[in-house]
Structure 1
Amino acid sequence: MDNRPSRHRLVRIRSSRCEPSRERRLPLREIGGVLVRIGLIAEGGYPYVSGDARLWCDRLVRGLDRHEFDIYALSRSERQEDEGWVPLPAQVSRVRTAPMWSADDDGVVYGRRARRRFAEHYAELAAVLCAGGGADDASREASATEADRFGSALYGLAELARDEGGLVGALRSEAAVRALEHACRSRGALRTAREARVPDLLAVAAHLERALRPLSLDWYEDDGLGAVDLCHATSGGSAALPGLLAHHFCGVPLLLTEYGVRLRTHYLAAPDSSPAVRSLLAAFHGALAAETYARAALVTPGNGHARRWQERCGADRAKLRTVYPGMDAGRFAEVGESAACADPDSLVWVGRVEPAKDLVSLLHAFAEVRKEEPKTRLRIVGTPAGPEGVAYLGHCRALAAQLFPDEAEGPHRVGDNPVSFEEIGAPDIPNLAAAYASGAVTVLSSVVEGFPIGLVEAMFCGRATVSTDVGAVVEVIGGTGLVVPPRNPRALAEACVALLRDPERRERLGAAARARALELFTVEQNVAAFHGIYLEIVSRTPVRRVVLDDTGEPLPFAVPAEAHVPGRWTEGPARPTPRNGPPRPPGTPVRATAMPTPEGAR
């Protein structure tokens, strides 16, 4: 591994084979003792100002200042690119970006041989999508065969793009649609695939073109992802494709982190599409997820809920390491340590206003709470998420006026109405910590939830909580709050009343919740976990980098020879190795490992 510090910061914008990169070099401070060079791959997030997982990635990069990071970012919209980047720390040596929201025709004209290669690989890919597959024992062997066919087709297309140029024109061509149609009409195709009509085929082909755009990028050379020690994909799906290709072309190990399983997100999206479109796209994303899990050195789900999804989609349990998201506990310290409560008779809900949060059930539950505890108030603190959220907020306001007709006159403020709709930045709620401190009990009423960030924030503030049993809620709470079934207003109301009537219980649960959050969900534990994982993966990987001398010539014997002993000496006790196994083929990479501890010395 080359431990020499980088001397410049290389920033590349809008990188692709069909559009030359624009470069600018900025001075980079000397970093002494660089441990690992990481290629951090993100889609629609870091380093842009707006996007998914932006804060997590920024905290990870800043926390690991002894590592060097190359950022490879796939943007989702022109607006996101125009908003710019967050300030980058000095350990970021390079940023390369590419748009996922548009792809101009690359102008590449394939010859006869290239067209034949594309037709073969795309037809194989389409055949795998139309064949489907199952998860039962009878179809397990067939599923493994289909996975091999999918990988062969995927990497065949990537090699074609590398040899001949971009795939944009080919993926948009009539030949691609015809290959997809032939696969759907072929013998053995699923019934839903056979029912696909021309609009369905066009929709699927367009989706595949967008999803496969990373295959056409120029990131997979020796001066790109081939120069890093480890690729870290911050999500699955298209964001993992560059990591897969870096592993295929250059042997770079891949680490995949999923705080929200992309395959699950796809299942929940596009409910209005035809059965044929949903079936074919589900087959594609399922095959891509299985290929990513198979090739990754390690997979780090953000919680047990995501981990179960990954196992269901084919991830090897031995590769899974749960790493909880790291959150900044400092801004909640004052409220959490004092455990002060502005109003002991108030329930607080904090979050983005959208239908998945099920504020309708919360309002009906609060109507039941008012029958038992007439002095109780409900503060709904949050902003609507998009046009759908704005409409949903209006519906909730109308429902509140309907449920409490005698108290609906006047503005929606605490004191005039038992239900208030507020936003962060108001005089009595200047920040997020003040929102949680404004009530005695924090409520989460969602029907769909991944990792409940708002719940962790309430735990940092030492709040007693009542939550619905969705996503990773039970795993996060761990017995420090009350959990009820979703879409059950009566159960939600009973749990809230129980905590409102018992201040000592609220205080005890809040203290336990804060202690649990500080132990499991801080930035420090997240950064420490990934630091160990980075070193573990790199220690298992043979050194590939050629060390150059001062004149730029290869330096002989700069990297010591390594030895690899197959079996439990390096791979652990997962599966025994026969004493007289088959001879190792010539050219197999070898690497050295530490001697295991003898059984009698333990």
Structure 2
Amino acid sequence: MRIGLIAEGGYPYVGGDARLWCDRLVRGLGQHEFDIYALSRSERQEDEGWVPLPPQVSRVRTASLWTAEDDGVVHGRRARRRFAEHYGELAAVLCAGGGRAADGASETPSALQADRFGNALYGLAELARDEGGLAGALRSEVAVRTLERACRGRDAMRTAREARVPDLLAVAAHLERALRPLSLDWYEDDGLGAADLSHATSGGTAALAGLLARHFCDVPLVLTEYGVRLRTHYLAGADAPPAVRTLLAGFHGALAAEAYHRAAVITPGNAHARRWQERCGADRSKLRTVYPGMDASRFAEVGEAPSCADPDTLVWVGRVEPAKDLVSLLHAFAEVRKEEPKTRLRIVGAPAGPEGEAYLGHCRALAAQLFPDEADGPHTVGENPVSFEEVGGPQLPSPADAYASGAVAVLSSVVEGFPVGLVEAMLCGRATVSTDVGAVVEVIGGTGLVVPPRNPRALAEACVALLRDPERRARLGAAARARALELFTVEQNVAAFHGIYLDVVAGTPVRRVVLDDAGAPLPFGVPAEAHVPGHWTNRPHTGPDTTAPLPEGAR
């Protein structure tokens, strides 16, 4: 079958989110064809290029979300009237809070408001198709004035009524970026219309492209969220002015509800994401949890070999950023040292952007303050028991070597989606101490110790308990590795999506119509095995898209 894989800021870009699992999925399903539809987030991401692509990728089509291009479309009076009508209806739903129930018990829009949002969204999509795009209209003064009228409407919430001109401009600009898929030419028979199904690898903008393929071409949609995009938008907008926060929360909530309603199957990456999706309107019968797949072979040597790690070393591995709460870890380690003075802590990871650089500097200063050099301590003068390192050096050439260097792996985060680093530690057969955030408890499943976040004393007590009990460490490490091999491998992930693809396509009518020489429909022109994996029909293979040539070395 042919799958249209839709990614926002991800595959096939080298620096993309969710790049690894998408690449493993595509490579693991060599019996299918993949068309990649990629929405880029930055110029830097585009300049970094693509990962090497396997032969089953027929073509790649890209569009930019980081720069606004002028499509040159000039709308006539009728088109402007249609735009104002549909955009005004969409804005009215946002001003009503996305149509959430009055009791506030759910994030799910009411059925009436959901219908209003959907009708407005697809009305704009049809206008974009008829006129050749909406880029100019969405950035026009008409859009801002239409949004302002909706905010002053009778049904608008008080927060929306208080929106000032800067707020309106900010919301209009955000909506223009979020609605850019409306103006793409992806929804024809030579695009997503040729796919047997579309697979959006995240919610939000990627899911919008899948919704439009379903609306115009009846292509069924599979939606995967390893991190719920709606939750991300809520967190990102926490510092925005109240009016901006309210209107954008309404938009993203309504868009998520529409995607959940129209998708054939929704695949959360863990129970934490699943609960979010259910609260935001996802039908429980459509939900199938599919854990991310990890390449277990990279950790096999460490996981299967007898442990030779320093029994007095704790190790933390990850991206250095405030959400990882290394400050609490350092304070916890100070408590550990009071009980076990020989213990060392290795912090292994690179900073995540400028914020991470600043945070790393703060953590280094805190470590120097908490652990001043002592001449009569268990270590030599000038040696700090906390080390900050990165993977790739002579001592730690790989992530597996980083986990192998410690007897206990620690996770101290205050915010976490699916804890990839924790799974890596489990594959290495390491006992773990983790904070109870995100999907940690679900991943650990009783094979490690879990403590409350932002509680250095509890974190220290758990670490000391494992440092003093080598037999327990070995027992937990073996159980953790067995659990990770059962649930979190690439093979498990690929097999799950293969089954989902077959289930979705099996329940979808064949949409292709074969014509005879006279141009009339040819009955039974598409054989029943058209949806069986493999090239059973005489449909010609589509080569790489000439509008987006594959980079050198991609094959």
TM-score exceeds 0.5: yes
Aligned equivalents of 2:220, 2:397: Cα separation in 1: 45
For structure 1, which segment, 64-73 or 399-408, has the greater mean C-alpha deviation from structure 2 after superposition? 399-408
2:535 is aligned to none
Secondary structure, in 3 states, of the residue corresponding to 1:344? Answer: strand
Q: 2:63 & 2:381 partners in 1: Cα distance?
A: 48
Find the aligned partners of 1:462 and 1:206 in 2 and give their Cα distance: 49
Correspondence 1:449 to 2:416: yes
Name the counterpart of 1:315.
Answer: 282
Number of equivalent positions: 526
Whole-Å separation in 2 of the counterparts to 1:328 and 1:549: 48
**Is 1:42 aligned with 2:7?**
yes
Which TM-score applies when normalising by structure 1? 0.85
Instruction: Tell me: CA distance 1:289–1:339, structure 2 relative to 1, closer, same or farther (3 Å).
Output: farther
Return the alpha-carbon distance in structure 2 between the equivalents of residues 550 and 64 of structure 1: 36
Between 296-305 and 331-340, report the one with greater CA deviation.
Answer: 331-340
Give the counterpart letter for 2:347 in structure 1.
Answer: I
Select 2:121's aligned residue among 118, 133, 154: 154
Identical pairs, percent: 86
The question of whether the paired residues in 2 share the 8 Å contact of 1:339 and 1:462 is answered with no
**Are the equivalent residues in 2 in contact too, given 1:401–1:408 (CA < 8 A)?**
no
Partner of 1:511: 478
Deviation of 1:220 after TM superposition, in Å, equals 0.5
Distance 1:551 1:232, change over 3 A: farther
Equivalent residue for 1:81, pick from 21, 46, 55: 46
2:329–2:412 contact (8 Å) kept in structure 1: yes
Deviates more, 1:544-553 or 1:372-381: 544-553
Q: Is the 8 A contact 1:302 1:325 kept in 2?
A: yes
1:49-97 Cα distance to aligned partner (Å, 9 max, x none): 1110111111000000001111111111112112111111111111111
In structure 1, the partner of 2:547 is: none
Equivalent pair of 1:333/1:461 in contact (CA under 8 Å): yes
Distance of aligned partners of 1:561 and 1:395 in 2 relative to their CA distance in 1, 3 Å threshold: closer
What whole-Å deviation, never above 9, does each CA across 1:206-258 have from its counterpart, x for those lacking one? 00000000000000011111111000000000011111011001111000000
Of 450-459 and 545-554, more deviation after overlay is shown by 545-554
Match of 1:365 in 2: 332
The one-character-per-residue Cα deviations of 1:363-410 (angstroms, maximum 9, x if unpaired) are 00000000000000000000111111111011111111111123499x
Structure 1 residues 551, 408: CA separation in 2 closer, same or farther (over 3 Å shift)? farther
Q: Does 1:203 align with 2:161?
A: no
Which residue does 2:553 correspond to in 1? none
d(CA) in 1 for partners of 2:280, 2:318 = 30
Which residue matches 1:294? 261
Residue of 438, 456, 461 corresponding to 1:471: 438
Aligned to 2:454, the other structure's residue is in SS state: coil
Distance 1:374 1:274 in 2: 49
- Equivalent of residue 21 in structure 2, options 46, 56, 67: 56
Per the TM alignment, residue 549 of structure 1 is displaced from its structure 2 partner at its CA by 6.9
- Contact kept in structure 2, 1:414 and 1:420, CA below 8 Å: no
How is 1:160-171 mapped onto 2 (pairs within 5 angstroms)? 160-171=127-138
Shift of 1:105: 1.5
Structure 1 partner of 2:140: 173
Query: In the aligned structure 2, how far is the partner of 1:399 from the partner of 1:408?
Result: 20
Equivalent positions of 1:170-319 (< 5 A) are 170-319=137-286
Q: Structure 1: where are the runs of 5+ without partners?
A: 1-35, 563-602
Instruction: Please give the secondary structure, in 2, of the residue aligned with 1:163.
Output: helix
Q: 1:507 to 1:548 in 2, by over 3 A?
A: farther
- TM-superposed deviation, 1:546: 2.0
The aligned counterpart of 1:346 is 313
Relative to structure 1, the CA distance from residue 300 to residue 194 in structure 2 (aligned partners, 3 Å threshold; closer, same or farther) is: same
* 1:532 match: 499
Q: In 2 relative to 1, CA 434–123 (structure 1 residues): closer, same or farther, beyond 3 Å? A: same
Are the equivalent residues in 1 in contact too, given 2:8–2:206 (CA < 8 A)?
Answer: yes
* Alignment partners' CA distance in 2, 1:89 and 1:383: 30
Correspondence 1:124 to 2:71: no
Q: Which amino acid aligns with 1:48?
A: Y
> Which letter maps to 2:54?
P
- Residue 550 (structure 1) shift: 9.6
**Structure 1 residues 375 and 561 mapped into 2: Cα distance closer, same or farther (>3 Å)?**
closer
Deviation of 1:553 after TM superposition, in Å, equals 8.2
Separation in 1 of the partners of 2:419 and 2:517? 52
Q: Does 1:67 align with 2:39?
A: no
2:546 match: none
TM-score using structure 2 length: 0.92
Matched residue, 2:64: 99
Cα distance change, pair 70–549 in 1 and its aligned pair in 2 (3 A): farther
* Paired residue type of 2:76: G
Structure-1 separation of matches of 2:8 and 2:392: 30
Amino acid at match of 1:481: G
Tell me, what secondary structure is at the counterpart of 1:105?
A: coil
Gaps of 5+ in 2: 530-555
Whole-angstrom distance in 2 between the partners of 1:152 and 1:78: 34
Structure 1 vs Structure 2 CA RMSD:
2.2
SS in 1 for 2:310: coil
Write the distance in 1 (CA, Å) between the matches of 2:347 and 2:473: 20
Secondary structure class of the residue paired with 1:97 = strand
Residue 558 in structure 1 maps to residue 507 in structure 2:
no
SS of match in other structure, 2:35: strand
Match of 1:460 among 404, 408, 427: 427
Whether the 8 Å CA contact 1:499–1:506 is kept in 2: the answer is: yes
Counterpart Cα distance in 2 of 1:174 and 1:101: 21
Check whether the contact 2:201–2:224 (CA below 8 A) recurs between aligned residues: yes
1:448 counterpart SS class: coil
SS at match of 1:441: strand
- The one of 115, 123, 134 equivalent to 2:100 is 134
Amino acid paired to 1:130 = C
